[in-house]
Structure 1
């Protein structure tokens, strides 16, 4: 049994996914999560409504790198609804990306949501906060 299968057995309701829109970004963001630097993320409310099983407080998820390998398991601690234009400096810092500034957060998320064709200043986002509950050891499963 591979590591991902073991984790899915240990956390039966967990979904496995990577963060970001490229394998390089998924690798760097998974490391930020694993190291406790990235403790938050967000997505458009419209995309959450389309999910068969959206995250909920207390749910666990398996964070994958850009190669589809499990890096860590996180547990949702907070979910809130916020407009893009109302995201705070504090939340941007918790996202753990770039220079941790609100300006960086706005630029990168505007780029991402524009590429998805859904950007607007007043778009609603689901802001997630999470904690790492398990760090995966790839070496013991080689």
Structure 2
């Protein structure tokens, strides 16, 4: 196959096209399960999941085209990092398709939209609170997209006003503990900023001394202390296993309470 110099578009350029409500087609060549987990969506964008293996079959077919793909519209081809998309774009170019590759793929796109959302929510927050400090931290809860989404939603609705973390990990990673007054930008499971909170208290205590009040403020499940102990024992045990440590009820926990200052 002769290689063409395919057009490239950066995540920032693509974001601007979407903001300008330009109409085009995004063809995501990742496997269906990856596509269903996350893909590019916008009102003016038609998104198509076309696994790369289907496009690869065109390589040695002189006349064959794929009916699902429009030949008279601009198509942005994307994959996880851009490599497979580039190969697919070269094949489609030989068939007369108008194709452009998303540079860096979905990985670059997610990084960009996360960064953009963080900067945007902080700018909006600073417009309302001009005396707020310049420093903030941005992070998501838990260790999965589902957990991050669920807990971020609890923050936005005002149910969750506390969190807890493993003190040992701060020591092992030589990180400073959270401080009272620290502003945090809460991210959802896709890394999108949804809220700004401020720490109002930070305490370090053994796992078995965490209070019913703190468990209630964490807002999860039935908000009881037994529920908090059950889910956090499992969560902390998994974290400790990764650093070759074992869970025990005297392990130190960093308990933070915060107040919601701003939300999308």
Is TM (by shorter chain) over 0.5? yes
Aligned length: 136
Tell me, yes or no, if structure 1 residue 125 matches structure 2 residue 245.
no
| Higher mean C-alpha deviation, range 17-26 or range 4-13 | 4-13
For the aligned residues, what is the CA RMSD? 1.8
Q: 1:85-124 maps to which residues of 2 (within 5 A)? A: 85-117=208-240, 118=245, 119-124=247-252
Which of these two proteins has the greater Rg computed from alpha carbons? 2
**Alignment partner for residue 72 of structure 1, among 185, 190, 195?**
195
2:160 paired residue number: 38
Shift of 1:3: 2.6
CA offsets 1:19-72 (integer angstroms, 9 cap, x no match):
011101100100101111111011111123335454210010100000000010
3-state SS in 2 of match to 1:79: strand
Q: Which runs of 5+ in 2 are unaligned?
A: 1-114, 127-132
Shift of 1:81: 1.2
Shift of 1:12: 3.4
Report which of the two has the higher share of strand.
1
Q: 1:56-71 maps to which residues of 2 (within 5 A)? A: 56-71=179-194
Q: What's the TM-score once normalised by structure 2's chain length?
A: 0.49
Change (3 A) 1:35 1:51: farther
- Separation (CA, whole Å) in 2 of partners of 1:8 and 1:52: 23
- Separation (CA, whole Å) in 2 of partners of 1:84 and 1:25: 21
**Stretches of 4+ aligned residues off by more than 3 angstroms:** 7-12, 51-54
2:19 paired residue number: none
Q: What's the TM-score once normalised by structure 1's chain length?
A: 0.88
Shift of 1:95: 0.6
CA offsets 1:73-131 (integer angstroms, 9 cap, x no match):
01000001111011111111011000111111001000001111252100011110000
Q: Which runs of 5+ in 1 are unaligned?
A: 137-142
Change (3 A) 1:52 1:114: closer
